[in-house]
Amino acid sequence: MSLHLTNVWLRVSIGMLLAGVSAALLILSFPPYNLWPLIWIGFVPMMVAQFRVLPPKISSLASAITIGGWLGGYLTPIFAGSGLYITWLPLLIAGISYLVDSGVRAFHERTSYRWFVPHGALNWVGFEMIRGFIPITGTWGFVANTLHGQPWLIQPISIFSIFGLGLLIMAVNYTIGLGALYLFDRRWQLDPHIPALAGHSVRNWTAGVAVALILWTALSLALFRASTTPTVRVAALHYDAGMPPWSAVDKFSELTRQAAQAGARVIVWPEIAIEGDPQVTRTAEFRQLAAESNAYLALGYIAPVTDEISRNEATVLSPEGQFLGVFGKDHPVVFAGETSPTRGTYPVYDTPLGRLGTIICYDLDFTNTARRITRNGAQLILVPSHDWPEIAAKHYTHLVFRAVENRVSLAKADNSGNDSIIIDPYGRILASAITPGGDRNGQVVIADAPLGTGDAPAVFLGDWMGWIALAGMAFFIIYDPVTKARAKRSKAPGAH
């Protein structure tokens, strides 16, 4: 059936509506809504808008609305207090998406949509790989993060990394999108010059991606098991200390004693819970507390270097009163003006309970820091943290992926955003306290955490699927002008 819409504004309105639907589906698939099945279809309305409904010259308006709307709904509430440039970041990214995607529809029409699925999946995950290097973004907004509550489905990231799961999610989206375009063409034809989609190609991609999804699920179920390693009773101190957070050292000491009474042998304090280096500030008090509790204390503290620069660090204090070493925050929150002059070392402490390592807060949003600690032998990673309330329902979810990627347990203690959690090496949440409004009474989050094996292939392979996606993205950037040149030659006089 042929349908020629003379009202361009009607096409634009319908296209914008479809793009807005995609933005809404993406927002709902992420925390705090957690409607995770929507991530598998979230981009499909956008594709129909971009490649069929919107007029070709403004087709990239679809991706601009979808991505800008999604980031506006997801990231802006989190980072709006961090500065004007963060507030306007979704609009900026929407503008970039409009420009970057302006030639995508023409590319697929020149190539008869044979590259539709790999082009879409590789470009998206390649861009995620790039974002993983950017201090402002890290892994925030990765499509795979929507599956944090489904540990039965994410186990292959221990081999393929979080980027492998992202490729699968986007391949499913683009395959369903390709099928949607095929069905659309059988009902409507808004632009007669669009090449007909080959039915066999649609069927092949559908079958191939379905097999990949089945194999991924089967592998995940095979890898998902109960831990058989020894356990350590770990406690994360959960308390809204207010500002400044180090005014609550006495409260954290009280919670430490409660944790020790409950049998905790490793106790994690939040980030910057102590003003000054405990190795030189109130040292006798901390040593007495460690001895009294008979526990290893992971202490987060801040110590000034100059008026502008401070050391944001964590140390582990043994029950015998020995400070085992110092870890400097690997990824400072640069958009908040934070620095970390002592970063770059990844110590692991060999104790009778197991090998302990630390990372600090924002480090959990990047794949590399936990991996480096695990490569150095960590079996249990302790995470002092100081979030802000707006991210309490979102930030802890990233730790699920760091646990599975590295096959280690992690324990996060928080004193402001109030999301404290203990996770096993398979991504199971063993204990948690998520209180975005704050917890002025304080509580001890405690669990028996299995020691990790640290033997996940991703520990040594790293983000290899992300690099493959980035290479694929580069290929299509180079291949696009090649297709333009071929199309131009085919239209030249005398061409056959």
**Nearest residue to 390 via CA among 82, 27, 34, 60:** 82
Q: Rounded to whole angstroms, how far apart are CA atoms 93 and 95?
A: 5
pTM of the predicted structure, to 2 decimals: 0.93
Residues 258 and 154 in one domain: no
Please tell me the predicted confidence (pLDDT) of residue 266: 98
What is the DSSP secondary structure assignment for residue 424, as one 8-state letter?
A: -
Q: Do residue 422 and residue 318 come from a single domain? A: yes
CA angle 488, 123, 399 (to 5 degrees): 175
Question: Are 268 and 240 in a shared domain?
Answer: yes
Same domain, 37 and 146: yes
Q: Are residues 264 and 281 in the same domain?
A: yes
Alpha helices in 321-422 (DSSP H): 367-375, 392-395, 397-406
- Rounded Cα distance, 67 and 90, in Å: 8
* Chain-centre distance for alpha carbon 199: 36
Nearest CA to 40 among 161, 224, 216?
A: 216
State which residues form the domain around 172.
8-224+467-491
Over residues 398-410, the pLDDT tens digits come to 999 999 999 999 9
On whether residue 496 sits in a domain, the answer given is: no
Residues 442 and 472 in one domain: no
Q: What is the largest CA-CA distance in the chain?
A: 91
Residue 186 lies in a domain: yes
Residue ranges of alpha helices (H) inside 224-366 are: 249-261, 283-293
Q: Is residue 3 part of a domain?
A: no
451 and 476 in a single domain? The answer is no
Q: Alpha-carbon distance 30 to 107, whole Å?
A: 31
Do 12 and 72 lie in one domain? The reply is: yes
DSSP 20-40: HHHHHHHHHHSTTT--GGGGG
Please provide the DSSP assignment of 225-282 as one string.
Answer: ----S-EEEEEEEE----SSGGGGHHHHHHHHHHHHHTT-SEEEPPTT-EES-TTTSS
Specify the DSSP class assigned to residue 415.
S
- Is 79 a member of any domain? yes
Instruction: Report residue 376 CA to chain centroid gap.
Output: 23
Q: Does a structural domain hold residue 382?
A: yes
Q: What is the DSSP letter of 49?
A: I
The total of other beta-carbon atoms located within 10 Å of residue 411's CB is: 28
Q: Tens digits of per-residue pLDDT, 36-65?
A: 999 999 999 999 999 999 999 999 999 999
254 falls within a domain: yes
Instruction: Please identify which residue in the block is written with the tokens 């470009």.
Output: 123
23 and 112 in a common domain: yes
Burial class (CB in 10 A: 0-12, 13-18, 19+), 276: middle
CATH at 333: 3.60.110.10
Q: Which amino acid is at 19?
A: A
Low-confidence spans in the chain with pLDDT less than 70: 1-6, 79-87, 336, 417, 492-496
Q: Are residues 400 and 292 in the same domain?
A: yes
**243 falls within a domain:** yes
CA separation, residue 349 to residues 44, 324, 380, 414, 436 (Å): 48, 7, 10, 22, 32
Beta bridge pairs of residue 448 = 233
CA distances from 190 to 2, 98, 106, 424, 454 (A): 7, 22, 15, 53, 55
Q: Could you tell me the two tokens for 487?
A: 């199309």
How far is the C-alpha of 381 from the C-alpha of 405, rounded, in Å?
13
Give the single-character DSSP code of 402: H
* Spatial separation of the C-alpha atoms in residues 46 and 19, rounded to whole Å: 5
Distant-in-sequence, close-in-space partners of 135: CB < 8 Å, separation ≥ 6: 331, 332, 334, 335
Single-letter amino acid code for the residue at 113: Y
Cα(173)–Cα(249) distance, integer angstroms: 49
Instruction: Find, among 264, 268, 260, the residue nearest to 231 by Cα.
Output: 264
Domain membership flag for residue 2: no
Answer whether 426's CB lies under 8 Å from 476's CB.
no
What pLDDT is attached to residue 5?
Answer: 46
Question: How many domains is the chain partitioned into structurally?
Answer: 2
Residue 123: both structure tokens together: 């470009």
Q: Is the domain of 80 the same as that of 214?
A: yes
Length of the chain counted residue by residue: 496
The whole-number pLDDT of residue 81 equals 56
Let me know whether 217 and 329 are in one domain: no
